[in-house]
Each structure stands twice: as structure tokens, then as C-alpha cells.
Amino acid sequence: MDRYLVFGHPVRHSKSPFIHTLFARQTQQELEYGLAEPAVDEFAQALRTFFDQGGKGCNVTVPFKEQAFTLVDRLSPRAKRAGAVNTIKLTDDGVLLGDNTDGAGLVADLKSHGVTLADSRILLLGAGGAARGALAPLLAELPSELVIANRTHTKAQQLAAEFHDLGPVIAQTYEQLAGPFDLVINSTSASLQGELPPLAPALIHTDIAIYDMMYGASDTAFISWAKQHGARQTMDGLGMLVEQAAEAFTVWRGIRPGTKQVLRELKRNLGVI
């Protein structure tokens, strides 16, 4: 049977095996999908061993995405832009192809929620790996402007300069931000420490769409905060997780699974509904 897995550390709580098993059942593909948690300095060896032993493809998650970028034979254009790899496929001619489906997953999830990206003014919070992966797919949707704000302003400036050729992207400090924005995407890891990005409440209005790449069994700190200040449309990163997985599955198997039912089952599994 064709073997796939996700590399991460820690990875025990990953939902990828659950998601891909449902995709495989739905599309009647024969495959198995497991977990691998190598020590941080043993990822390269573990990856080699997996493919030497017949593995067909893998996902890569924190903290290995940047390392995976350096270990594959060939990069997709979107992985090259993202500077990180979350999906690897062994091609028929034995080449390890590195791809990045995170940004495509975000855009697919935004669209499935009915969010219009064309001509919209988008605020992206954070300038780490998650923000970098999102930039090219977001700019491809032709927003009127994309503003990056980050606690360390120089990192936002660097990212804006790097993606400037793809569209109207600028960097501003949190203090400089002036509304109205149509969409705010939180790519920071602030909520992992129970913190909030230092965003002025005045930027939140009833027609704004709020997206937090994080998710949990209950509202993230950022989503609770945005609701408190009047946001009516809030979305967490669970849909992005399923959509990036669907994109990876498509890369591997050449068949696109449906995501709606899988997302519903995942929510049930997490106790969200």
C-alpha cells in the first residue's frame, strides 16, 4: 500500500492522519498515512530513510518546513516563494519535489467562507513563516492593497520588499495602521502565549472579516477579542488545515477530495460541534 506521513515535532496531536484517511476513503484511494516525530537534528536522516523504504510522499510541519526546503531535489514555484516546504512528493522519475500548499489552503478556505479578495484591502498580522507562505497566493487574488504589520517592523519591511513584484504590498507599524480594512488575517503565534497582537480596537468594524490561522476547541484569543469589538464574520484556521491537506492530497494522487464533509467530521472529532 502507498505510504504517506507527516513529519513534525511535536506531531502526536496532528490531525493530518485523520484528514487524509477520510480523503482516501472518499476518493477510494488505497493508502496509509502515519506520523513521524524525529529529533530535531535527525529530520534529514528520517526523511531519507522514509523515501528509501518506499514512502510516496509526506507532509512537513513545525519545526521542519524550512529544513525540508533545503533537502528536496526540486521546488515548486510556490514553495520557492514561501521559503518553506510542507508537502513532498516522490515523482515517478525518482525526484523529491517540494511544494507548499499552506497559502493555497488559506485562500481556498477564505473563498469557501464567501470572502471576496479581489479589490479588497487586507491586513496581514505577523511576518514569520506563516505570513510568508500566505503572501503570494493572497496577492494572486488581486487585492487593492495588502498591509503587513509586525511587532518587529523590519521583518515586515523585508517581506513587503520581497513580494513587491507580485502586487501592492506595504509594511506599516501597528501604530501607523489606518482603516478601513476588509479582512484581517492573524498569522502571528501570539495566541500560543495567550497574547494578542497590539491592534487598535477602532480598526474592527461590523463588516470586517477576521481570520485567525490558529484554531482550538473554543474561540482563539484573537477571535474573541475581534467579536468583542463588533466583528461579525470570524474564521479560525481549521478550514485552512483541511484545505492545505486537500491540496497536498491532489499533488500526490492527482485527484481532488471534497473538504466540506471532512471539515465537519474534524470539528466533531475536536468537539467543536
Binding site for ligand ATR (CB under 6 A): 126-131, 150-152, 155, 187-190, 193, 195, 197
Q: How far is the CB of 125 from ligand ATR (least distance, A)?
A: 7
* Residues tagged active-site: 65
- Determine how β-strand 169-172 pairs with β-strand 145-149: parallel
Which of 195/207 has CB closer to ligand ATR?
195
Q: How far is the CB of 53 from ligand ATR (least distance, A)?
A: 29
Q: List b or e across 75-99, with b for residues whose CB sees 16 or more CB atoms inside 10 angstroms.
A: bbebbbbbebbbbbbbeeeeebbbb
Which of 187/259 has CB closer to ligand ATR?
187
Q: How far is the CB of 196 from ligand ATR (least distance, A)?
A: 7
Which of 14/150 has CB closer to ligand ATR?
150
- Decide: residue 54, CB within 10 A, 0-12 exposed, 13-18 middle, 19+ buried: exposed
**Do 169 and 160 touch, CB atoms closer than 8 A?**
yes
